[in-house]
Amino acid sequence: MKFSLTTLGVSSASPTTDRYPSAHILNICGRLLLIDCGEGCQMLMKRHGISLMKTERIFLSHLHGDHVLGIFGLMSTLSMSGRTEPLHIYAPEGFSRILDFFKVQFLERETYPVVFHPLTASVPEVILEDSVMSVTALPLLHRVPDYGYLFREREPGLNVRKEAVASLALSVSEILALKEGRDVQREDGSVLRASELTYRPYQPRSFAYISDTAAFGALPGMVRGVDLLYHEATFGDDCAEKAAEMFHCTARQAGETALRSGAGKLVIGHFSSRYKDPSVLLAQAREVFPETEMGWEGREFEVPVKKTE
């Protein structure tokens, strides 16, 4: 049951010779979700063995070019490859104009349906719930409409304790009832308590994606207790004023958000091209939040299963 983030593009607006614009893959139990789609995204996916055709959904934070310009090439390749499965795209509502332009100018043969989910909420809103996960869109503070995303694994079903099955000679119907969380009254008057005889096999895992945004007071609460947090760290302490002016964060502010939210691990990215060696940003974030890692092309961050017993 894999739950992992692969960072592909970790540069901000201007790419460098060794850093591409924003693009990341979240793998939840084999389901591939693309988060942002900067220039060169499909090449990075191919380079690192990530299937374009199996990519199920795309989540775009906002409509600045370094987060969306790779989508034309990706969608064209999917069409040329004969994709037939629907492609779901979640983005601020203005993306509809981009999608219409793409279809008119570049999509010669529409082999698959594109299902666009426009985001308009001004407060956190659940935008997807299914048997595997839930996704919440988080309004951020940037120069244009902008959203972060919180991905949570759905809570697993109850397991009946093995020792109880044998010691109480549980029938199939009793086991099924207990797994549904229902107490069972037996013919002799005794009651089998689901709260005593069952357990959750593991704790649901979570990941939050925050890029691009200025720091603001409500943000840590939006991602409270998240296992893995990706947070933009465009600038260092030397450019704190510029960060505020551009509605971006410093690496130190990313660390502060991770600390205040109680995150398990922080991954920083979206580095300004002025930092030839972004390890200086890593050092500043770690001064506040030691459990910080630096995103890099092809680097995978896995959230392990947290068994309850």
Two tokens, residue 276? 């030839």
How far is it, in rounded angstroms, from Cα 22 to Cα 10? 5
At 173, is the secondary structure helix, strand, or coil?
helix
Radius of gyration of the chain, Cα coordinates, nearest whole angstrom = 22
Out of 66, 146, 212, 227, the active site residue is: 66
Strand partners for 199:
159
C-beta atoms surrounding 235 within 10 Å: 27
C-beta atoms surrounding 293 within 10 Å: 18
- Annotated active-site residue 66? The verdict is yes
C-beta atoms surrounding 120 within 10 Å: 11
Distance from first CA to last CA of the chain, Å, rounded?
Answer: 17
Two tokens, residue 207? 């990941």
Tell me the catalytic residues. Answer: 66
